[in-house]
C-alpha cells in the first residue's frame, strides 16, 4: 500500500463490538516479559498467543518450527505459527470493569463532554478517574421524606432522653420532699418539746406561788418567824419579824407574773432559734439536692442541644445535595450509610428524566437565536447541535420517542461494556 499519496483520511472511534471483532484475545494480566526466561508472559501485554510469535515460523514452546507449519495453532502453547511481524498488526482488548470516556472527548479543547454536561474539565476528570463521586439526580420526594423521617427521629430521640432522665429527676424530687418533710417534723417536735417544758415550769411557778399564798393567808396579822423566798427570786417575799398582810399577796402575784413573762420570752427566743436552724437545714438540703437536680437537667439540655445540632447538620447536608455536585469518597460513604436509597454515584439516568432535563435547558436555548442565548451556553449549544442533534438525533430534537430510543441504544452499549 502506497501511503505517500492520498486524498483524504477519516478517523473515527470503534464501537465495543468492532473492537472485539478485531481483537485476537483478551489481555487479563498486567505482566509483560518473564524476568528469568525473557519470554512474554501468557495472557499478558506481550502474550504470543494473542499477538503472535516472537520468532518467525515458530511457536512459543518450540513444538512447531519452519514455514511448512504455517497457520497451525500449537495444541500445547496455543501460539499460531506465523511470521513475527504479525505482532505489529494484531490487536488485543481488555474487558473494562466500568465504562470509560475516550480521551478525545475529555482532553480535547474545548472538552466535548464538559460542554455537554456543563462541568469544568477539572471536575469531570475527578469523576472519570474515580477520585470523586457526582450527584446525577436528586429525588425531591425522597428528600422530603428523609427530612420528615429525620424530624421524627429527632423527636423520638429527645423523648427517649427525657424518659431515661425522668426517673433520676423523680428520685431527686422525692428525696428532696422527704428531706423537707423530715425537717418539718423535726421542727414540730422541737417546738412541742419546748412548749411542754415551758408549761411544766410555768405550772411549777404557779404551784409554788399558790402554796406560799395559802401559808400567808393562814397567818395574816401575825409576824413571820423567818424569811420566805420564791425559788426563782433572790428577793424575800416576807422578812423575819415582819407582820403578814395582803400586800405580800400582791407582791407574790407580781413576782409570778414577772417569772411567767420571762418564761414566755425564753420560749419565743428558743422557738426563733429552732426555726432559724431548721430554715438553714432546709436551705442546705435544697441546695445540695437541688444542685444535683440542676446539674442533671443541665446535662440533659446539653445532650439535647448536641443532638439537635447534629441533626441540623445532617439536614443541611441533605438539603445541600444538588445535581452535578461533586462528593468525596468519605462523604459518599456517609451518605450511603445514612441514606441507603440515595442515588449519589454516577449512573445511567432515566431516559424520560434525561429528555425533560434537556428540554428545559439545552433544547430550549437552541430554539433561540445565538444572539439571544445566554453567553455561558452559546458554545454548549453549538456543540450539542453538531454532536447530538445533527449526528445522533437526525436533526429532530422534538421527537421524544426517537431521542429516547437513541439514548437507550447508547445506554445498552455502555452496559455491554460494563
The full set of domain ranges for the chain reads: 1-95, 143-319
Upstream peptide bond of 110 is cis (omega within 30 degrees of 0) = yes
Whether pLDDT at 22 is above 90: yes
Average pLDDT over residues 182-204: 84
**Among 234, 228, 226, 224, CA closest to 258:** 234
Q: Is residue 93 helix, strand or coil?
A: strand
pLDDT in tens, 114-146: 888 788 889 888 888 888 888 877 778 878 888
Whether pLDDT at 360 is above 50: yes
The pLDDT mean for the chain works out to 78
pLDDT in tens, 51-99: 999 999 999 999 999 999 999 999 999 999 999 999 999 999 999 887 7
Distance CA 154, CA 40 (A): 63
Contact by Cβ (8 Å): 135, 339: no
Contact by Cβ (8 Å): 49, 60: yes
Percent of the chain with pLDDT over 90: 19
Cell numbers found for residue 167: 426517673
What does pTM read for this prediction?
Answer: 0.44
Whether pLDDT at 113 is above 70: yes
Cell numbers found for residue 213: 399564798
Amino acid at each position: 500500500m502506497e501511503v505517500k499519496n492520498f486524498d483524504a483520511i477519516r478517523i473515527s472511534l470503534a464501537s465495543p463490538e468492532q473492537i472485539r471483532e478485531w481483537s485476537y484475545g483478551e489481555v487479563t494480566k498486567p505482566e509483560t516479559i518473564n524476568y528469568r526466561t525473557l519470554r512474554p508472559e501468557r495472557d499478558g501485554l506481550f502474550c504470543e498467543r494473542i499477538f503472535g510469535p516472537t520468532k518467525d515460523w515458530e511457536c512459543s514452546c518450540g513444538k512447531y518450527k519452519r514455514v511448512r507449519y504455517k497457520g497451525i495453532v500449537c495444541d500445547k502453547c496455543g501460539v499460531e505459527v506465523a511470521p513475527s511481524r504479525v505482532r505489529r498488526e494484531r490487536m488485543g482488548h481488555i474487558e473494562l470493569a466500568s465504562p470509560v470516556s475516550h480521551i478525545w472527548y475529555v482532553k480535547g479543547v474545548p472538552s466535548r463532554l464538559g460542554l455537554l454536561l456543563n462541568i469544568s474539565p477539572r471536575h469531570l476528570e475527578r469523576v472519570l478517574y474515580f477520585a470523586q463521586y457526582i450527584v446525577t439526580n436528586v429525588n425531591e420526594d425522597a428528600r422530603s421524606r428523609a427530612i420528615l423521617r429525620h424530624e421524627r427521629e429527632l423527636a423520638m430521640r429527645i423523648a427517649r432522653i427525657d424518659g431515661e432522665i425522668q426517673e433520676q429527676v423523680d428520685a431527686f424530687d422525692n428525696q428532696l420532699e422527704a428531706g423537707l418533710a423530715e425537717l418539718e417534723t423535726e421542727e414540730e417536735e422541737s417546738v412541742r418539746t419546748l412548749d411542754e417544758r415551758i408549761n411544766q415550769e410555768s405550772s411549777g411557778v404557779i404551784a409554788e406561788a399558790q402554796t406560799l399564798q395559802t401559808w400567808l393567808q393562814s397567818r395574816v396579822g401575825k409576824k413571820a418567824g423567818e424569811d420566805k423566798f420564791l425559788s426563782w427570786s433572790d428577793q424575800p417575799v416576807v422578812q423575819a419579824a415582819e407582820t403578814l398582810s395582803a400586800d405580800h399577796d400582791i407582791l407574790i402575784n407580781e413576782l409570778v407574773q414577772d417569772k411567767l413573762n420571762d418564761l414566755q420570752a425564753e420560749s419565743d427566743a428558743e422557738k426563733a432559734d429552732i426555726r432559724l436552724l431548721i430554715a438553714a437545714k432546709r436551705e442546705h438540703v435544697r441546695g445540695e439536692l437541688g444542685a444535683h437536680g440542676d446539674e442533671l437537667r443541665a446535662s440533659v439540655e446539653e445532650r439535647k442541644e448536641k443532638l439537635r445540632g447534629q441533626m441540623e447538620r445532617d439536614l443541611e447536608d441533605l438539603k445541600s445535595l444538588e445535581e452535578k455536585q461533586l462528593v468525596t469518597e468519605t462523604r459518599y460513604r456517609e451518605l450511603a450509610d445514612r441514606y441507603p436509597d440515595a442515588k449519589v454515584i454516577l449512573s445511567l439516568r432515566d431516559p424520560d428524566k434525561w429528555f425533560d432535563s434537556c428540554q428545559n435547558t439545552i433544547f430550549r436555548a437552541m430554539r433561540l437565536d445565538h444572539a439571544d442565548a445566554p453567553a455561558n451556553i452559546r458554545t454548549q449549544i453549538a456543540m450539542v447541535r453538531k454532536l447530538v442533534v445533527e449526528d445522533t438525533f437526525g436533526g429532530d430534537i422534538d421527537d421524544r420517542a426517537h431521542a429516547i430510543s437513541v439514548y437507550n441504544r447508547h445506554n445498552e452499549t455502555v452496559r455491554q461494556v460494563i
